[in-house]
Chains A and B, each alone.
Chain A
Amino acid sequence: MPAEVGVPTAAAEPVCVVQGLSRRFSSVVANDGVSVSIGPGEVFGVLGPNGAGKSTFVRQVMGLVRPDAGSIMLLGYDVVRRPEVASRVAAYLPQDDVAIGDLAPRRAVELTGRLRGMGRGEARAAAAALADELDLAETADRPIARLSGGQRRLASVATALVGDRRVLVLDEPTTGLDPAARRAVWSAIERRRAAGSTVILVTHNVLEAETVLDRVAVFERGRVIACDTPGRLKAAVSNDVRLDLVWRDEPPWDDPTVARLAEVSEQVGRRWSARLPTDVARAALGELTTGAALAALDDFTLATATLEDVYLALGGVAHDLERT
């Protein structure tokens, strides 16, 4: 059974309605009964770890992959029957930039605009405006392949934004970006939304999901395990907090609190992270900071639940969601 589908709050017709979408690549199930409904002007997130089926989902929405089963209606057009229609109403940001790697960002944006039907002058003006908007002006005339990873991604984002499409399908737009560039992309997305565009944004970054998304579908092994606003999803696990510990050296294993935490935490090197009920976490931290274990602690934080906690609480098992 697919997870319950969140419905846009506005009464307006949904922009994208996906029902029972399934796709398998030989023995691997990429999407399994995915159903979502995305409203106009929404920034809708597709969150999940690597391999959860996020990219396959958006590629089907863009008509780039034919589903084995299910339906996709995009602005009222049947994408399964007429895959080419998606490219006329939506812009897509793929994960790689090989096709435009030898071009300078300004040229790549201009040509993409022309391929979306803009006139030469119009496309040139749009490329200049996007270079300013995304702060690309300094690198706008150097081949994309010779830019840093973040600048390359920014150039690709610019190609997706040119042409003012009603729907933007962005597959991990901020991967590899520094914080300033990431904010520039988030602002650009917000401006498009304010102008009436609907955005479908794939991410495996929890901070991004909580910052820019109106609603988020959490993917796990090809299925949607939750779909709601980030706030409501977090409220579902609001009794839990995350306790993060960093040890200076070897943890004091003979300390009973440490031994107890060792059983419930994920451990990456000297970093421990545990999701615990608030009172349990508070008590554990009190014992650690007042006992002998404090000397071995390098750092500790107690934070409210994130979408990663939601993912784990819902049965997610992967640990490659980004937090920052």
Chain B
Amino acid sequence: MTAPPATGFGPAFAAVYAGQVSRARTARASLFFVATLQSLGLVLLLRGVVDDGRIAEKQHIVAGSVVLVVGFVALNLLAQRFGLLRAGGALDYYAALPVPPAAVVLGIAASYASFTLPGTAVVGVVGAALYGLPLVHLWVLIPAVAVSGAALAGLGAALGLLAPRPELATVCGQLGMTLVLFLGLVRAERMPGPIRLVRAVMPSSYAVDALAEAFARRPSFGAIAVDLAICAASAVATLTLATVAYRRAVAR
């Protein structure tokens, strides 16, 4: 016997996304503000430290602070959210609806990633102004935030869904955000070998490098494209992992 059809991926994705946007209006706005404020604080504080530094350091500080907003929301907050949903049995709400699992994971991940856009724009503009960096190629921020948002949201969702307890999901999310912070603000060349290796496997590093390059006087768009492509590929991997983790968490 043929079962009635499930809701298609597109409408299901749109409804999940719309639901998260509605949630954000009532419950999450203050946290997005904190995410932006944290990065603004960083660019302000480090302004004094690298006042006479090389331009490359300044580019990385601004780019790293921008991507930190993404790390705070898409990785840290999303890991907490999925940890909470899983622990409370709240995934049953979605699992009992006729929607593809990927639509649930991608809808929630995409919403968290897109919530970071206003904050990243503010940090990018303020940072570039403070450090005297050119704003002409700031448009790179849009694809950089999109791919790093997708990659980190996938990672955050997977951590939240795989962590055996919600407290561990929170710890993992915060550790992940800390990695984004430390690995993003400093150029790879200034890091010791093993740390450089960790930086190489962190998807956010490629978004930072692409964005830092965009703040150069004469950016290499080839390098930007390669970095964004690597970040996009890692987004596919982390979102796939998150979808697998979701299927496992709903225990069908």
The residues of A with any CB-CB pair to B shorter than 8 Å are 59, 62-66, 76-77, 82-92, 94-100, 102-104, 107-108, 111-112, 114-117, 143, 145
List of A residues within 8 angstroms of B28 by Cβ: 102
Does B251 have its Cβ within 8 Å of any Cβ on chain A?
yes
CB < 8 Å: which of B14, B22, B252 contacts A83? B252
Interface string of B218-252 (1 = CB under 8 A from A): 00000000000000000000000000000000111
List of A residues within 8 angstroms of B88 by Cβ: 96, 98
| CB of B93, distance to nearest CB on chain A (Å) | 4
Listed A/B pairs (25) with beta-carbon separation below 8 Å: A64-B96, A76-B1, A82-B3, A87-B97, A89-B3, A94-B89, A98-B84, A98-B88, A100-B19, A100-B93, A102-B22, A102-B27, A103-B23, A107-B22, A111-B18, A111-B19, A111-B22, A114-B7, A114-B11, A115-B7, A115-B97, A116-B7, A116-B97, A117-B6, A143-B27
Interface string of B83-127 (1 = CB under 8 A from A): 011001111111111110000000000000000000000000000
CB < 8 Å: which of A66, A76, A108, A114 contacts B251? A66
Using known A-B contacts A66-B251, A114-B11, determine if residue A96 contacts B22 with beta carbons closer than 8 Å: no
Does B16 have its Cβ within 8 Å of any Cβ on chain A?
yes
List of A residues within 8 angstroms of B37 by Cβ: none
- Minimal Cβ-Cβ distance residue in A for B18: A111
- Minimal Cβ-Cβ distance residue in B for A114: B15
Query: Is B16's CB under 8 angstroms from A115's CB?
Result: yes
Interface string of B67-87 (1 = CB under 8 A from A): 000000000000000001100
Does B145 have its Cβ within 8 Å of any Cβ on chain A?
no
CB < 8 Å: which of A59, A77, A99, A145 contacts B90? A99
Please report the C-alpha to C-alpha distance between residue A112 and residue B93 in the assembled complex, in whole angstroms.
9
Query: Is B15's CB under 8 angstroms from A115's CB?
Result: yes
Does B192 have its Cβ within 8 Å of any Cβ on chain A?
no
Name 5 extra pairs, CB < 8 A, besides A64-B96, A97-B93, A115-B7.
A87-B96, A99-B91, A103-B23, A107-B22, A114-B15
Query: Is A117's CB under 8 angstroms from B7's CB?
Result: yes
Please report the C-alpha to C-alpha distance between residue A76 and residue B2 in the assembled complex, in whole angstroms.
10
Query: Is B93's CB under 8 angstroms from A94's CB?
Result: yes
Query: Is B95's CB under 8 angstroms from A87's CB?
Result: yes
Please report the C-alpha to C-alpha distance between residue A82 and residue B26 in the assembled complex, in whole angstroms.
37
In B15-40, the 8 Å CB interface with A consists of 15-16, 18-19, 22-23, 26-28
- Return the 7 tightest CB-CB contacts between A and B, nearest first: A99-B93, A98-B90, A92-B96, A114-B15, A102-B23, A102-B27, A99-B90
Please report the C-alpha to C-alpha distance between residue A108 and residue B19 in the assembled complex, in whole angstroms.
8
Query: Is B4's CB under 8 angstroms from A88's CB?
Result: yes
List of A residues within 8 angstroms of B19 by Cβ: 100, 103, 107-108, 111
List of A residues within 8 angstroms of B27 by Cβ: 102, 143, 145
Does B5 have its Cβ within 8 Å of any Cβ on chain A?
yes
Query: Is A84's CB under 8 angstroms from B89's CB?
Result: no
List of B residues within 8 angstroms of A143 by Cβ: 26-27
**Most interface-central of B4, B23, B85, B97 (chain A CB within 10 A):** B97
List of A residues within 8 angstroms of B1 by Cβ: 76-77
List of B residues within 8 angstroms of A102 by Cβ: 22-23, 26-28
Query: Is A85's CB under 8 angstroms from B3's CB?
Result: yes
CB < 8 Å: which of A98, A100, A104, A116 contacts B98? A116
Does B12 have its Cβ within 8 Å of any Cβ on chain A?
yes
**Most interface-central of B26, B27, B88 (chain A CB within 10 A):** B26
Query: Is A63's CB under 8 angstroms from B4's CB?
Result: no
| CB of A66, distance to nearest CB on chain B (Å) | 7
List of A residues within 8 angstroms of B14 by Cβ: 114
Query: Is A65's CB under 8 angstroms from B3's CB?
Result: no
List of A residues within 8 angstroms of B7 by Cβ: 114-117
CB < 8 Å: which of A88, A91, A94 contacts B6? A88
Using known A-B contacts A64-B250, A64-B251, A84-B6, determine if residue A92 contacts B92 with beta carbons closer than 8 Å: yes
| CB of A194, distance to nearest CB on chain B (Å) | 22
List of A residues within 8 angstroms of B97 by Cβ: 87, 112, 115-116
- Minimal Cβ-Cβ distance residue in A for B8: A117
Please report the C-alpha to C-alpha distance between residue A63 and residue B101 in the assembled complex, in whole angstroms.
14
| CB of B82, distance to nearest CB on chain A (Å) | 11
Query: Is B15's CB under 8 angstroms from A87's CB?
Result: no
Query: Is A65's CB under 8 angstroms from B251's CB?
Result: yes
Query: Is A103's CB under 8 angstroms from B250's CB?
Result: no
- Minimal Cβ-Cβ distance residue in A for B6: A88
Interface string of B197-222 (1 = CB under 8 A from A): 00000000000000000000000000
Please report the C-alpha to C-alpha distance between residue A311 and residue B90 in the assembled complex, in whole angstroms.
31
| CB of B96, distance to nearest CB on chain A (Å) | 4
Please report the C-alpha to C-alpha distance between residue A102 and residue B27 in the assembled complex, in whole angstroms.
6
Query: Is A62's CB under 8 angstroms from B96's CB?
Result: yes
Please report the C-alpha to C-alpha distance between residue A145 and residue B3 in the assembled complex, in whole angstroms.
35
List of A residues within 8 angstroms of B85 by Cβ: 98-99
List of A residues within 8 angstroms of B23 by Cβ: 102-103
**Most interface-central of B14, B93, B95 (chain A CB within 10 A):** B93
